[in-house]
Amino acid sequence: MAKISINLATGSLQQEELIVGIDLGTTNSLVAFINPEKQPQAINDTGKGLLVPSVVHFNEHGDAVVGNEAKAFLTTDPANTIFSVKRLLGRSYQDVADHQDLLSYKIIDDNTDALVKIRAANRFYTPVELSAEILKELKHRAEHALKTPVNRAVITVPAYFNDSQRQATRDAGKLAGLDVLRIVNEPTAASLAYGIGLNPQEQKTIAVYDLGGGTFDVSLLSIQNGIFEVLATNGDTFLGGDDFDRAIVDYWIEKNDLDRSVLQEDQVQMQTLRLQAELAKKALSTQNLYNEKAGDIWYSIDRQTFESLISENLERTLNSCRLALSDAGLTAADIDEVILVGGSTRTPYVKRKVEELFGRKPQDHINPDEVVALGAAIQADVLAGNRSDILLLDVTPLSLGIETMGGLMDVIISRNAKIPTKAGRQYTTSVDGQVNMKIAVFQGERDLVQENRKLAEFELKGIPAMPAGLPKIDINFILNADGILTVQAIELRSGVKQEIEVKPSYGLTDDVVEKMLIDSVTHAKEDVQQRMVIEARGEGEQLAYTAERFLEKNSQFLNEEEIEHTRLLIAQLRQSLQTADKDTILKHTDALNEYTRPFAERVMDIAISSAMKGKKIDE
Ligand code: ADP
Ligand code: MG
């Protein structure tokens, strides 16, 4: 298959275009490329530094700034300053409900399994849009520094990211105007940066210990024939360098007898203290004592004290490592190589502890906050076919997936996946008592199936009649080494099963593939936008339906005015569903949701108390 790239500026095809590697981090993001000396190098846009803090700020007009500039608004305008958006990517509200209090901005409280949305400056943003802002900034910086258009990228994600989190990362790339050639696991990228996995003869088991700003994860990988397999992952999505900073702040509050309640009121002063603590922490990575005067107070801490402050947190990361080892059925002695990733592994105490646990000196000579992006750049170079020493395994030229709600393409095996491969996902019914389900298989990169190539369609019959949402239907795609795709559908409760075989490459010439790829890139933005409208409509529709059923059943618990107002909100929502404006739809969905939530609680309370009354209590 020919390697195709498109110059978005001219619309023409280019043979040799740069592909960048991007580390889209929770705290910091960065972009790297392979320089003319054939070495991976992080891109430093003049004077702006290598790391771009993953922070987005919106002003009242909805204009975004990203990075250090946005970070400055964390204290002055926290409600419109979004950080740690990676934690929300591809997650539903229910996934993140427990953590809302840790974030200063507003997450829309759907209380459903719909995807999270964020409200800032009176608009609604999906984590995909917010991540796209960060990616756009990285793209701009790369273009500015390298003086060439950058349209293609490899983006990394944590090894534990699920399907929907990976899809969301791809979408963010599309929205930023990037053709995402592959999503690569962060630990895999880090290994590549150390040259591990590049030699097809090599067989190794490695541990990647990644301690960032707000997250920790450890991954155990096995490498064979140039293929990385994740054996186990473990970690904590709320543990990282930020906790170390906080520990120092607490220590200084104690030591200097500062008034905690005053500080809590004064966000600006608190933030200043936090920044000071981060400086101290970083200094203690290379020196034994930090001692600085700010105002008329001396802020000092020595390395030993710092180590005792963080030892408990560090012990938790080591426990994660132990659990990962035991999940993979391995002991520390089975690990051939330990790699350190993440800015927080610069702390010498972290290095020492990791070395102690694995009984070997970890690899740490590559900058730990660049290593993932550097590895992504190497992967990009491999995909570009620039490395004759590495054989490129067979890959699928176009994504394969099925049609879901509203005519959307749900990708199951993505483009550029190595074959043979297998992937699957679970679906359910949308209508009560539904006994058949149509499964339409498509190929292509567009978000709407009508723009893609239809490969097959069949019906799964004999699903037992159940309320909507209860059946569990597994759809599996198995693509063998000869490029034959088997699509399997199984309803898990009843065991009814149906399968079909197709040859996706049948009738597919390089020209067709080329045209499909070009179309997908030229329409990427509108596609993602259209998809967000369809998804918003789906949710709005669902809520309007639920609210109507609720009124039918429970109107005796509501007064006239409440019933009237609910009806009005439903009507407004239904009307907004006719528009193609995602923000309008979300605004009305949110309004109905906020207004009716107390009713559901009221009905529940009444139901519980009448159940109690009805119960006879034995003496
Ligand atoms: P993420 O992958 O989560 O985006 P990074 O890998 O960029 O995060 O790590 C950021 C964290 O690394 C921050 O908490 C920062 O304070 C910490 N860090 C950066 N440099 C040092 C250093 N020299 N010593 C200790 N910690 C550091
Ligand atoms: Mg990272």
Ligand nearest to the CA of 158: 2
3-class secondary structure for 374-435?
A: HHHHHHHHHHCCCCCCCCCCCECCCCEEEEEHHHEEEEEECCCCECCEEEEEEECCCCCCCC
**Tens digits of residue pLDDT in 114-170:** 677 888 887 889 899 999 999 999 999 999 999 999 999 999 999 888 777 888 899
* CATH code for residues 241-310: 3.90.640.10
**Tens digits of residue pLDDT in 374-389:** 999 999 998 887 776 6
* CATH code for residues 400-511: 2.60.34.10
Among 62-71, 108-117, 513-522, the range with the most confident prediction by mean pLDDT is: 62-71
For the entire predicted model, the pTM comes to: 0.78
Ligand nearest to the CA of 367: 1
Neighbours of 156 (CB within 10 A): 27
* Residue 189, pLDDT above cutoff 90: yes
Q: Please name the residue whose Cα sits nearest to atom 13 of ligand 1.
A: 213
Of 24, 27, 210, 366, best ligand 1 pocket probe by most atoms within 8 Å of the beta carbon: 27
- Quote the pLDDT of residue 173: 94
Cα 24 to middle of ligand 1, angstroms: 14
Ligand nearest to the CA of 187: 2
Beta carbons within 8 Å of 497's beta carbon, 6+ residues apart: 460, 488, 489, 490, 491
Cα 178 to middle of ligand 2, angstroms: 20
| CATH superfamily membership of 16-239+311-393 | ATPase, nucleotide binding domain (3.30.420.40)
Which of 420, 435, 422, 425 shows the shortest CA–CA distance to 402? 425
Of 55, 211, 281, 310, best ligand 1 pocket probe by most atoms within 8 Å of the beta carbon: 281
Contact predicate 177/139, CB 8 Å:
yes
Cα 157 to middle of ligand 2, angstroms: 9
Query: By three-state DSSP, how is residue 353 classified?
Result: helix
- Quote the pLDDT of residue 420: 81
Cα 37 to middle of ligand 2, angstroms: 26
Strand order in the sheet with 485-491: 421-427, 473-479, 485-491, 497-502
Give the Cα separation of 579 and 123 in Å (integer). Answer: 16
Q: Please name the residue whose Cα sits nearest to atom 23 of ligand 1.
A: 282
- Quote the pLDDT of residue 614: 54
Question: How does DSSP classify residue 317?
Answer: H
Cα 463 to middle of ligand 2, angstroms: 44
Which of 540, 603, 539, 594 shows the shortest CA–CA distance to 571? 540
Of residues 336 and 104, more confidence is placed in 336
Neighbours of 174 (CB within 10 A): 24
Give the Cα separation of 23 and 45 in Å (integer). Answer: 16
Of 282, 303, 314, 340, best ligand 1 pocket probe by most atoms within 8 Å of the beta carbon: 282
CB half-sphere exposure, 315, CA atoms < 13 A = 6
Domain chopping of the chain, boundaries: 16-239+311-393, 241-310, 400-511, 539-612
Ligand nearest to the CA of 282: 1
Of residues 433 and 245, more confidence is placed in 245
Q: Ligand 1 site: residues with CB under 6 angstroms?
A: 25-28, 212-215, 240-242, 278, 281-282, 285, 342-344, 346-347, 369
Across 362-367, average pLDDT = 96
Residue 616 has φ and ψ, to the nearest 5°, of: -90, 130
H or E stretch at 530:
helix 524-554
Q: Please name the residue whose Cα sits nearest to atom 11 of ligand 1.
A: 213
Q: Please name the residue whose Cα sits nearest to atom 7 of ligand 1.
A: 28
- Quote the pLDDT of residue 452: 92
Give the Cα separation of 407 and 100 in Å (integer). Answer: 33
Q: Please name the residue whose Cα sits nearest to atom 19 of ligand 1.
A: 343
- Residues labelled catalytic: 23, 86, 186, 210
Residue with tokens 């509501």: 558
- CB environment 277-309: b (16+ within 10 A), e (fewer): bbebbbbbbeeeebeeeeeeeebebebeebbeb
Cα 516 to middle of ligand 2, angstroms: 33
* Residue 4, pLDDT above cutoff 70: no
Q: Please name the residue whose Cα sits nearest to atom 22 of ligand 1.
A: 282
Cα 541 to middle of ligand 2, angstroms: 38
Contact predicate 34/386, CB 8 Å:
yes
Residue with tokens 């950080």: 83
- Ligand 1 atom closest to the CA of 215, numbered from 1: 3
Contact predicate 328/220, CB 8 Å:
yes
- Quote the pLDDT of residue 109: 63
Give the Cα separation of 61 and 122 in Å (integer). Answer: 9
For the record, the structure tokens of 546 come out as: 């639920």
Of 23, 28, 66, 68, best ligand 1 pocket probe by most atoms within 8 Å of the beta carbon: 28
Q: Please name the residue whose Cα sits nearest to atom 20 of ligand 1.
A: 343
3-class secondary structure for 270-301?
A: HHHHHHHHHHHHHHCCCCCEEEEEECCEEEEE
